[in-house]
Amino acid sequence: MSEFFNQLLEKVNLEEGVEGIRQILLQIYRNGSISVKKLSRLTLIPVPLVSKIVNVLSEQKLLSRSKNGIQYWEHGMKFVEKEFGFFGYGTQKCPTCKSRPVYVSPMFDEMFEILNSIFAKRPSVDTTLDQSKNTVETAIQRACYLYEKGALEGKRVLFIGDDDFTSVCVGMMSKIFFPNDPFILIPKSITVIDIDARIVESIQTIFRNNKLTIQCIQYDLREPIPSELLHSFDTIITDPPYSPDGLGLFLSRALSCMDSGVNKDIFLSFAHRSPDQTMKIQSIMTQMGLSIVEIIPRFNKYEGSETLGNETQMFHLKTTSFSQELVLASAKADLKIYTGETHPYIRQFQCMSCNAIIEVGPDKEYQTIEELKGATCPNCSSKKFKLIGRNLILH
């Protein structure tokens, strides 16, 4: 391999190694012109790292950046063709299903109409809880995927955290399948637990207004599990914080809430990670005696989460005779599971009118970017700011 790419790897500290750089260059080659965000989605490498690599390669005159996207200079294209043996321009994906495992047919157009207005009124994201809003399409895709896997009909279904409102979509599937009797549930029961009281109240209100039954409980998973939740469910859906401790805690609570027996379904949404980090994620699942039945890259799409390229993967897990919790149901978990706890940053924003600097982070006047977005500059009352830097808080 050329020394050029080894030197580049030293600059960007990419866990995926030279192969990660190759994948970025390959996708640019096949697409002709492409955005950083799309590059991130195709390579499963976070946006900041993709952007950094593209910047370095642009400085080296291998790539060029314009309003149309990232492109090769002619000599850059010849260089990667020689270096990596690139050839051709890829294959076409199905324009109907877009290579996704479940095709959302026109029969769900009514569901889109119903959910569009509901999702538009979801509570604002709380970044201290690593919340982000998934798209209506993703909620419908999830509901259809659960139905296809036989995980809904006659099942007691538990959502562990549901700022995505997937429970709402599952609850309203009866409107599509049984339009003459829309006030029934396909599952035997639906329960939602969430730390955020706004989420719990919103979902409860939506179900009540649509004459559907649901149980909603405000609950912090770091606390011992309430007795009424123990061993009471057949299917569990969760989208935990994207940290190892967050994953271990949420899956532990899922197993404690799951009814006894093997071959029970857990559907887990989780961020794409490097191969080394993915191995750690999968080792947690293996340690807990969970069988990985299916992994679907880029299954979930989000309105935010720019760092993750707006997409995460779906794991379909099954319980086995070896399944066991890492955190016992009766135990209180003193864990740091959210990004703001595991990687606390102080971000510096500059007012675009008077250049005043405002810091955002723990123990500051504005602890989250969302709080700053609703504020004005203390000097000139402007509402426009730009990020100029961030520093990790070292303990």
Give the model confidence (pLDDT) of 189-240 as tens digits. Answer: 999 999 999 999 999 999 999 999 999 999 999 999 999 999 999 999 999 9
Instruction: Please state, rounded to an integer, the average pLDDT across all residues of the chain.
Output: 90
In this predicted structure, the answer to whether residue 296 has a pLDDT above a threshold of 80 is: yes
What is the average pLDDT across 324-353? 88
Q: Is the pLDDT of residue 395 over 60?
A: no
Q: Which two tokens stand for residue 367?
A: 């602890």
Spatial distance between the Cα atoms of 104 and 140, rounded to a whole number of angstroms: 8
Give the predicted TM-score (pTM) of the model: 0.81
The CATH 3.40.50.150 portion of the chain extends over 106-319
Q: SS3 letters for 252-268?
A: HHHHHHECCCCCCEEEE
Residue 76 pLDDT more than 90?
A: yes
Give the mean pLDDT of 17-42: 91
Exposure letters 331-341 (e unless 16+ CB within 10 A, then b): eebebebbbbb
Q: Tell me which of 3.90.1150.10, 3.10.20.90, 3.40.50.150, 3.40.630.10 is the CATH number of domain 106-319.
A: 3.40.50.150
Asked if the 344-392 domain carries CATH number 3.40.30, the reply is no
Neighbouring CB atoms inside 10 A of 181's CB total 9
Beta strands in the chain (DSSP E): 63-66, 69-72, 156-160, 189-194, 215-218, 235-238, 265-270, 290-301, 311-319, 345-351, 357-360, 385-392
- Per-residue tokens: 111: 């569901």
Q: What is the average pLDDT across 352-362?
A: 85
Report the pLDDT averaged over residues 265-275. 94
- Banded pLDDT at 95 (limits 50, 70, 90): confident
Residues carrying CATH 1.10.10.10, the chain: 3-84
In this predicted structure, what is the pLDDT of residue 224? 97
Task: State the DSSP code for 340.
Answer: H
Helix, coil or strand: residue 81:
helix
The hierarchical CATH code for the domain 3-84 is 1.10.10.10
Determine phi and psi for 27, rounding to 5 degrees.
-70, -35
Q: How many CB atoms lie within 10 A of CB 241?
A: 25
The answer on pLDDT for 79 being more than 80 is: yes
Residues of the chain with CATH 2.20.28: 344-392
Structure token pair of residue 75: 């000599």
Least confident of 185-194, 214-223, 358-367, 372-381: 358-367
Query: How much is the pLDDT for 394?
Result: 52
| Torsion, CA 51, CA 337, CA 305, CA 17, rounded to 10 | 30
Q: Of 25-29, 127-131, 132-136, 138-142, where does mean pLDDT reach its minimum?
A: 127-131
More confident residue, 339 or 117: 117
